[in-house]
Amino acid sequence: MLKFSLLGVGRIGKMHAQNIAINPNCELEYVYDVNNPAAEKIAKEIDCKIAKSPEEAISSSNVDVVYIATATPTHIDYILQAANAGKAIFCEKPIDLDIKKVEACKKELEKYNVPVHIGFNRRFDPSHKSAKEAKDSGEIGKLEKIIITSRDPSPPGIDYLKDSGGMYRDMTIHDFDLMHYILGNDPIEKVFATGSILFDEDCKEINDMDTAMIVMRSRSGVLCHINNSRRAVYGYDQRVEIFGSKGMVISDNQTPSSLQKFTNKITKAQEPIHYFFIERYKEAYKIQLQVFIDNILNNKPTAVNFDDGRNALIVANGALESYQSGKFIKINY
Amino acid sequence: MIKFALLGAGRIGKMHANNIALNPLSDLEILYDINRNASKELSDIHNCKIAKSAEEAINNEKVDAVVISSATPTHIEYILLAAKANKAIFCEKPIDLDIKKVDQCKKDLKKYNVPIHIGFNRRFDLSHRSLKNAKDKGEIGDLEMIVISDRDAVAPSVEFLKNAGGLFRDKTVHDFDLTRFILGNKDPIVEIFAYGENLFCQSAKQTDDLDTAMFIMKSQSGILCHINNSRRAVYGYDQRIEILGSKGMIISDNQTPTSIKKFNKDMNKAEIPIYYFFQERYDQAYKHQLNIFIDCIINNKPTLVNFEDGRIALIIANAAYESLNTGKSVKIKYY
């Protein structure tokens, strides 16, 4: 029975708390949040202790794992505290928005020997995973193209956006990681990225974008495309298309039910796809937790590690450099 | 009854001949092909005259319109002959592979006043047209993104590729034109990034060509457009268009010859492969394109795809090559 401390019970933290509670292999020992009432609410629901400080949650001798779902600027601090306390670490993406801080953290972490998992949950989605497996098994032959479509239902608002690091580091970063997951041992080598502000006025204030397109080349020459939008009225669009010499697989969107409607105006119309990430990736988050637990219990390397988090940020920075220069940028890992 | 002269009795010429014969408003009067056997074979089927030269076919007094589906290097010559003879012109893409020749032809055409249609048939596909119509009616609100996947089932031969002008000028031009069709003339493509690889295709390797490519373009209003091409998709001729706007998304999907679906222990709702070849996939589009062309002639209307559309598609293709060669996004200069 692994004992967890959960730091941060916002939107994502709450979901993690529930997943930890229902997983028979782990237990929530402590929650901590700067917002104490939020922590109290979770502690009551799940029957765990409330830590008075992150240090208390992290260094308690009862605790095996520290789960970091707090605001991004706290991530590195908590990672290093947890490493110093000998705890296994699960950290929500991103590690940090500043690559220099990430590098310094990486160096610092070399002193310790704790498992670190970065929360790129999409890898654990059964549908995306099957697509990747079709490629790994050779079913689609030699990989030639990957196309990822990733669109949010609505923009997050200026309060979120201004600290997010911008489209590539906040949103596309998931897709860069998914690309690496599919490519396997064939990293992204070059990136071209562009974007537009088409509907979200907030983006203008902070020099961000609401619509983006990226083309990349892997080391072996696989061509990769990502398109992002901060607003798809029809729902949270999460499609992955993998194309190879023997065929193509598409991991398509999902609807809550399998209802189809036929009237004098439409044929085979489904209800809208899942609205946002908590519904769409419900299973993925649970599976991710179980895989993390398995890795710790069996002393195996984490499925998504610190370097994966670092590499995704490096590609995101390359995308930004490309956008600013108009050039096809080579990525240096 | 619009009487046609057909120049070029190859793969595409045969199809045009058939469509002209099927259309109640048109008739194949005379044809010419450099290969006399091809001419004879086709004229036997359609019971039309065989010309001894392109000029004879073009200048035949009964002829109202000329279809140019001969080899690309003859296109400009035949366009100008037909214009001089005051015949309406339907010219298969491309006008030419050399922009200087195209620009010169444009100048030379100023003295004449004939309808010219360039054969970008995909605009006439019912599915693609419906997508565009729905967008024009406001069904997806303000357009924001276009994504086009255009993949051949089977790569062309070395013989074909060595005169084709390269992937971007031979194949992607269709997608550049489709993008412009969707954007509308008031929102031109202003910038393009292009990249490609040779991953598998021997015939492309032998002709120093690419077989896999991706593009990102930006329109003047900031709309982002992606095209991806492949010279080989084992599952068929992949022709998908996706448009995203403020009120929704529309996809013009692939089509299968039948609508059967199969269910067994290995698969659910499996359909048979999509159409393999452009002649099947775009059969109806080619027929409709001809209809529209005939309508333009009879009713004295401007052609829906004109010389300038052909010229611009080539300009975009050239800019794409510049991007490929420089590793940068390129701003497109139309003049």
Q: How many angstroms separate the CA atoms of B105 and B80, rounded?
A: 8
How many domains are contained in chain B?
A: 2
> Do residues A5 and A69 make contact, with C-beta atoms less than 8 angstroms apart?
no
Cβ-based contacts under 8 A for chains A and B: 106
Give chain A positions within 8 Å (CB) of B218: 194, 196
Cα separation, B90 vs B188, in Å, equals: 24
Spatial CA neighbour of A304 closest among A316, A287, A317? A287
B158 within a domain of the structure (yes/no): yes
Domain boundaries, chain A: 2-92, 123-280+305-330
CB contact, 8 Å: A192 with chain B? yes
Tell me, yes or no, whether B66 and B169 share the same domain.
no
B144 to A192: CB separation less than 8 angstroms, yes or no: no
Average pLDDT (A176-188) is 98
The beta-carbon neighbor of A233 closest among B197, B230, B247 is: B247
Instruction: Return mean pLDDT, chain B.
Output: 97
Mean pLDDT of all residues in B249-267: 96
Report CB contact under 8 Å: A144, B200: yes
Residue among A144, A192, A212 whose CB faces B195 most closely: A192
Q: What is the mean pLDDT of residues A8-17?
A: 96
Within 8 A of B327 by CB-CB distance, chain A residues are 327-328
Sign of the dihedral defined by the CA atoms of residues B281, B286, B288, B292, in that order: positive
Does the beta-carbon distance from B197 to A248 stay under 8 Å? no
Asked whether residue B118 is assigned to any structural domain, the reply reads no
**pLDDT value at A223 more than 90:** yes
The residues near B300 (Cβ < 8 Å, ≥ 6 apart) are none
Question: Considering only CB atoms, which chain A residues are within 8 Å of B233?
Answer: 243, 248
Token representation of residue B181 = 């069709």
pLDDT on residue A286? 98
Task: Using CB atoms, pick whichever of A217, A231, A326 lies closest to residue B329.
Answer: A326
Q: State pLDDT tens for residues B151-163.
A: 999 999 999 999 9
**pLDDT tens profile A267-279:** 999 999 999 999 9
CA distance B222 to B190: 9
Q: What DSSP string runs through A259-309?
A: -EE--SS-SSEEPPPP-SHHHHTHHHHHHHHHHHHHHHHTT---SS-HHHH
Using an 8 Å CB-CB cutoff, list chain A residues near B187: none
The answer as to CATH 3.10.310.30 being correct for domain A123-280+305-330 is: no
Question: Are residues B142 and B246 in contact, defined by beta-carbon separation less than 8 angstroms?
Answer: yes
ω into B257 cis (within 30 of 0): no
* Alpha carbon distances (Å) from B287 to A171, A235, A305: 45, 38, 57
A138 vs B: CB within 8 A? no
B329 contacts on A by Cβ (under 8 Å): 192, 194, 326-327
- Specify the DSSP element, H or E, that contains B56: helix B54-59
Parallel, antiparallel or unpaired: strands B330-331 and A223-229: unpaired
Do B166 and B315 share a structural domain? yes
Q: What is the CATH number of the domain that holds B7?
A: 3.40.50.720
pLDDT digits (tens, 9 = 90+) for B261-316: 999 999 999 999 999 999 999 999 999 999 999 999 999 999 999 999 999 999 99
Of A145, A196, A223, the CB nearest to B222: A196
DSSP output for B22-42: HSTTEEEEEEE-SSHHHHHHH
Cα–Cα distance, B185 to A300 (Å, whole number): 58
Tell me whether residues B223 and A198 touch, CB distance under 8 A. Answer: yes
From B142, B195, B199, residue closest to A144, measured CB to CB: B199
Residue A203 has pLDDT above 90, yes or no: yes
Per-residue pLDDT tens over the stretch B147-205: 999 999 999 999 999 999 999 999 999 999 999 999 999 999 999 999 999 999 999 99
Does A172 touch chain B if contact means CB atoms closer than 8 Å?
Answer: no
Predicted confidence (pLDDT) per residue in A246-255, tens digit: 999 999 999 9
In chain B, the residue whose alpha carbon lies closest to the alpha carbon of A231 is B246
Q: Which residue does chain A place closest to B221, by CA atoms?
A: A198
CB proximity A227 to B under 8 Å = yes
Per the document, the length of chain B is 335
Q: List the single residue in A213, A217, A248 with the smallest CB-CB distance to B216.
A: A213
Q: Within a domain: residue B149?
A: yes
Task: Tell me which chain B residue has its CA closest to the CA of residue A215.
Answer: B214
- What is the ipTM score, two decimals? 0.95
Categorize the per-residue pLDDT at B146 as very low, low, confident or very high, splitting at 50, 70 and 90.
very high
User: Same domain for B139 and B228?
Assistant: yes
Are B193 and A194 an interchain contact pair (Cβ–Cβ within 8 Å)?
yes
- On chain A, the residues whose CB falls within 8 A of the CB of B248 are 233-234
Provide the percentage of residues in chain B whose pLDDT is more than 90.
99
Indicate the residue of A223, A227, A327 with minimum beta-carbon distance to B197.
A223
Cβ-nearest to B144 among A141, A229, A247 = A229
Distance in angstroms (rounded) separating the CA atoms of residues A50 and B184: 60
**Residues B51 and B190 occupy one common structural domain:** no
Given B77, B92, B107, the domain boundary residue is B92
A327 neighbourhood in chain B, CB within 8 Å? 327-329
B10, burial (CB in 10 Å: exposed 0-12, middle 13-18, buried 19+): middle
State whether B326 and B196 are in the same domain. Answer: yes
B109 part of a folded domain = no
A198 touches chain B (CB under 8 A): yes
Q: Give the pLDDT score at B335.
A: 80
Identify whether residues B71 and B189 lie together within a single domain.
no
- Note whether B234 contacts A247, CB cutoff 8 Å: yes
Strand locations in chain A, DSSP E? 2-7, 26-32, 49-50, 65-68, 88-91, 116-118, 143-151, 188-196, 211-218, 223-229, 237-244, 247-251, 260-261, 269-270, 329-330
Residues B128 and B8 occupy one common structural domain: no
Are B223 and A245 a contacting pair at CB < 8 A? no
Residues B79, B147 share a domain: no
Name the 3-class secondary structure at B327: coil
Together in a domain, B157 and B199: yes
Query: A234 vs B249: CB contact, 8 Å cut-off?
Result: yes
In a shared domain, residues B154 and B271: yes
Would you say A282 and A289 are in contact if contact means Cβ atoms under 8 Å apart?
A: no
Q: Averaged over A18-33, what is the pLDDT?
A: 97
Task: Show the beta-strand stretches assigned E in B42-188.
Answer: 49-50, 65-68, 88-91, 116-118, 143-151
pLDDT band at A63 (very low <50, low <70, confident <90, very high): very high
Instruction: Answer yes or no: are the C-beta atoms of B58 and B81 closer than 8 Å.
Output: yes
Shortest alpha-carbon distance between residue A61 and chain B (Å):
51
Question: Span B92-113, mean pLDDT?
Answer: 98
Query: pLDDT, tens digit, for every residue of B43-59?
Result: 999 999 999 999 999 99
Smallest CA–CA distance from B196 into chain A, residue: A223
Shared domain check, B76 and B25: yes
Domain that holds residue B152: 123-280+306-331
SS3 B224: strand
Report how far apart, in Å, the C-alpha atoms of B313 and of each of B65, B95, B141, B172, B298 are.
Answer: 24, 10, 27, 9, 27
pLDDT above 70 covers a percentage of chain B that reads: 100
Same domain, B219 and B312: yes
Strand partners, B43: none
Site of tokens 């619509």:
A211
What's the mean pLDDT in A188-195?
A: 98
Which member of A147, A149, A194 has the closest CB to residue B216? A194
Q: Which of B262, B250, B182, B248 lies closest to B217 in space, CA to CA?
A: B182
Interface contact flag, A225 B233, Cβ < 8 Å? no
| CATH of region A2-92, choose from 3.40.50.2000, 3.40.50.2300, 3.40.718.10, 3.40.50.720 | 3.40.50.720
Mean pLDDT, residues B114-123 taken together: 98
- Please report, for the domain that includes residue B152, its CATH number: 3.30.360.10
